[in-house]
Amino acid sequence: MHFGKQILRFIFKPQCVKCGKFGGWLCPDCKNKLIGSLPECYSCRKISPDFATHQSCLSASTPFSKVIVCWRYNEIGKNLIAKFKYSYVFQMSETLADLIASSSGFSKLIKELSPDLDQAVFTIIPLHIRRQNQRGFNQCDLLANQILASIQLTDLQYVPNLLIRRANNEHQAHLDRFQRKSNIKDAFSINKSALLQLQLNSRGKNAKQNEAQNRFAFESFKLQKRHRQLPDNKNARNKIQTNFGLKPKKPQAKTASHLLQQKQNPKTPQSPSVTKIVVFDDILTTGSTMNEAGRVLRKTFPQATLIGFCLFRGGRGN
């Protein structure tokens, strides 16, 4: 641990946000009082396996395939968020990041992303520049940096500025469902510079893949010349692919919607290299903020799967 942090912790000993015990921002007894969120559809809030959004709930206004939540927003959660966001206790990001990384909700998220981690993007709900300057930080950005650094997901692209908050709206906390929806409408836009950087990163990956493909073709040609045929042994071929940085292609099942779209638009280009986008926020209540962010992302990434990830779920008696 950094020496400066040790001094700060010695002078300002952290106390449990709930019971006040010294030794940490959340003591073991209070930590056990955190209640995991039930897997439910984020739109209708009925039970759904792995937090999947029901097909009947999916629409242009509710575009997320699932929104994974770690815990219910009980008294412990309220104290944690209040201390972190509004008392400006930056050091709590380490405690919260450790809690998140060890939660079942985060395990579900990693499982969801693992098949194509290098084609996924992790972003956050942004603050308006005035509010961020006033607060001095974006709590989601601090947490995301801590989490991704701790688990060392080097293949996952973290793009915190993919969305821009162009409207300095009223705080959502004291508004009802209908007021939240109108208050957050048209609050976000895509950051064109971040989008350009994503495109450049994608081109770089494609260039490396093409180079590996060319090298593989040349090696196969040499084998063919030497043995008069390419190796029929599947393991031998996979070994060559692995040596040249190529991933053996796995057949992907085509969904009904994909087949229908392909039939209607046979010349439609394939999906962009970004296949999944994770949007991170601290608290999910009615889902208005998440849906508005998803609506904007859907216009730019029409083929990408949108996944929400939140610490707490509030509302409806928690």
pLDDT tens-place string over residues 52-86: 999 999 999 999 999 999 999 999 999 999 888 87
Same domain for 297 and 149? Answer: yes
The answer, yes or no, to whether residue 268 has pLDDT greater than 50, is no
Same domain for 188 and 107? Answer: yes
Question: Please, what is the end-to-end C-alpha distance for the chain in angstroms?
Answer: 37
> Which ranges of the chain does DSSP label H, i.e. alpha helix?
3-11, 28-31, 75-86, 92-101, 104-113, 129-135, 139-151, 177-184, 192-227, 234-243, 256-264, 288-300
Q: Is 245 strand, coil or helix? A: coil
Same domain for 179 and 215? Answer: no
* Mean pLDDT calculated for residue range 283-306: 94
Contact 66, 308 (CB under 8 A): yes
Q: Domain span at residue 231?
A: 199-254
User: Out of 42-56, 238-252, 256-270, which region has the weakest mean confidence (pLDDT)?
Assistant: 256-270
Q: Is 138 strand, coil or helix? A: coil
Band (pLDDT 50/70/90 cuts) for residue 169 is: confident
Is 65 inside any structural domain? yes
What φ, ψ does residue 170 adopt, rounded to 5°? -65, 150
Cβ atoms < 10 Å from Cβ of 135:
13
Phi-psi region of 66 (alpha: psi -120 to 50; beta: other; left: phi over 0): beta
Select the highest-mean-pLDDT range: 8-17, 198-207, 295-304.
295-304
SS percent in the chain: helix, strand, coil, step 5: 45, 15, 40
Distance, CA of 44 to CA of 317 (rounded, Å): 15
Of 224, 254, 284, the position where a domain reaches its end is 254
Same domain for 203 and 65? Answer: no
Distance, CA of 92 to CA of 190 (rounded, Å): 30
* Mean pLDDT calculated for residue range 167-192: 80
Is 10 inside any structural domain? no
Model pTM score:
0.74
What pLDDT is attached to residue 209? 52
The answer, yes or no, to whether residue 259 has pLDDT greater than 70, is no
* Mean pLDDT calculated for residue range 99-121: 89
**What percent of the chain is predicted at pLDDT more than 70?**
72
Same domain for 248 and 284? Answer: no
Same domain for 214 and 84? Answer: no
Is 3 inside any structural domain? no
Distance, CA of 66 to CA of 200 (rounded, Å): 28
Same domain for 289 and 229? Answer: no
Contact 310, 280 (CB under 8 A): yes
What pLDDT is attached to residue 267? 41
Distance, CA of 36 to CA of 44 (rounded, Å): 19
Is 242 inside any structural domain? yes
The answer, yes or no, to whether residue 313 has pLDDT greater than 80, is yes
> What Rg do the C-alpha atoms of the chain give, in angstroms?
23
Same domain for 151 and 57? Answer: yes
What pLDDT is attached to residue 155? 77
What pLDDT is attached to residue 214? 54
What pLDDT is attached to residue 71? 95
What pLDDT is attached to residue 293? 95
Using alpha carbons only, give the angle 8, 11, 14 rounded to the nearest 5 degrees.
Answer: 80
Sequence-separated (6 or more) residues with CB below 8 Å from residue 145: 158
Dig out the tokens for 122 from the structure.
């992790």
Residue owning tokens 């990434």: 301
What φ, ψ does residue 118 adopt, rounded to 5°? -75, -10
* Count of domains observed in the chain: 2
The answer, yes or no, to whether residue 213 has pLDDT greater than 60, is no
Distance, CA of 115 to CA of 122 (rounded, Å): 15
Same domain for 178 and 298? Answer: yes
The answer, yes or no, to whether residue 150 has pLDDT greater than 60, is yes
Paired sense of beta strands 188-190 and 163-165, if any: antiparallel
Same domain for 208 and 182? Answer: no
Is 2 inside any structural domain? no
Same domain for 205 and 290? Answer: no
Same domain for 150 and 206? Answer: no
Is 4 inside any structural domain? no
Is 151 inside any structural domain? yes
Band (pLDDT 50/70/90 cuts) for residue 203 is: low
Is 263 inside any structural domain? no
By the 10 Å C-beta count (0-12 exposed, 13-18 middle, 19+ buried), 269 is classed as exposed
